[in-house]
Amino acid sequence: MGNRNGIVLAAVCVAIMFAAGSIRAGTAVQDVIKMENKAYSEHTKAIVEFSHKKHNEEYKIGCGDCHHDDKGKPLNDLKLGDNVQGCIECHKIPGQMPGELKKEMREKKVSKKEIAAKELEYHAEAIHENCITCHKKFNKENKTKAAPQTCTQCHPKEK
């Protein structure tokens, strides 16, 4: 092999290493995600299996309907292999907003907007709002019950 070919070969090798590196740098996603976030000390409800691939491919829901940036702006151009942040990284508090806190804020005449913003700090509230809002809309528009909207449809039994 001539010297020149050797250089070309080395360049190709480096290019392949970079390509492989960029694939590894992205966040992998399972077809079905067991929604059992590690930030929770315990789950009080049965674990939900979320068919990520089906939602995207069969139900034709775009990435930006669920994933957004740090300003809440939809990430419509997201691709598999990109780095993706988990919901918990921004909706940081595990669980639902305690009923007492909501009551207390209402009694102090805190605005609805502020209460809604506080609610979104809780992981389960953000998740529920995303999933259930779409499911309700879908069921209503299609006169069906295919998309789960009651507690036990998603959390099949008490743990």
What is the nearest approach in angstroms of ligand HEC to the Cβ of residue 43?
3
Beta bridge partners of 68: 74
Residue entry with tokens 């528009």: 141
Residues 135-154, interacting with ligand HEC (CB under 6 A)? 135, 138, 146-151, 153-154
- How many residues at the interface with ligand HEC, by CB under 6 A? 63
- Establish if 97 lies at the interface with ligand HEC (CB under 6 A): no
Which of 35, 29, 27, 60 minimizes the C-alpha distance to 127? 35
What is the nearest approach in angstroms of ligand HEC to the Cβ of residue 22?
14
Q: Which is nearer to ligand HEC, 4 or 70 (CB)?
A: 70
Which of 54, 140, 97 minimizes the C-alpha distance to 132? 140
Residues 2-21, interacting with ligand HEC (CB under 6 A)? none
- Kindly list the distances between the CA atom of residue 155 and the CA atoms of 65, 69, 88, 110, 152, in Å, as whole numbers in the listed order: 22, 28, 19, 32, 5
Cβ atoms of 35 and 49 closer than 8 Å: yes
Residues 33-62, interacting with ligand HEC (CB under 6 A)? 33, 35-37, 40, 43-45, 48, 50-52, 54-56, 59, 61
Number of neighbouring beta carbons within 10 Å of residue 98: 11
Q: What is the DSSP letter of 40?
A: -
Q: Summarize as ranges the residues that interact with ligand HEC (CB under 6 A).
A: 27, 29, 33, 35-37, 40, 43-45, 48, 50-52, 54-56, 59, 61, 63, 65-72, 78-80, 84-91, 95-96, 117, 120, 124, 126-132, 134-135, 138, 146-151, 153-155
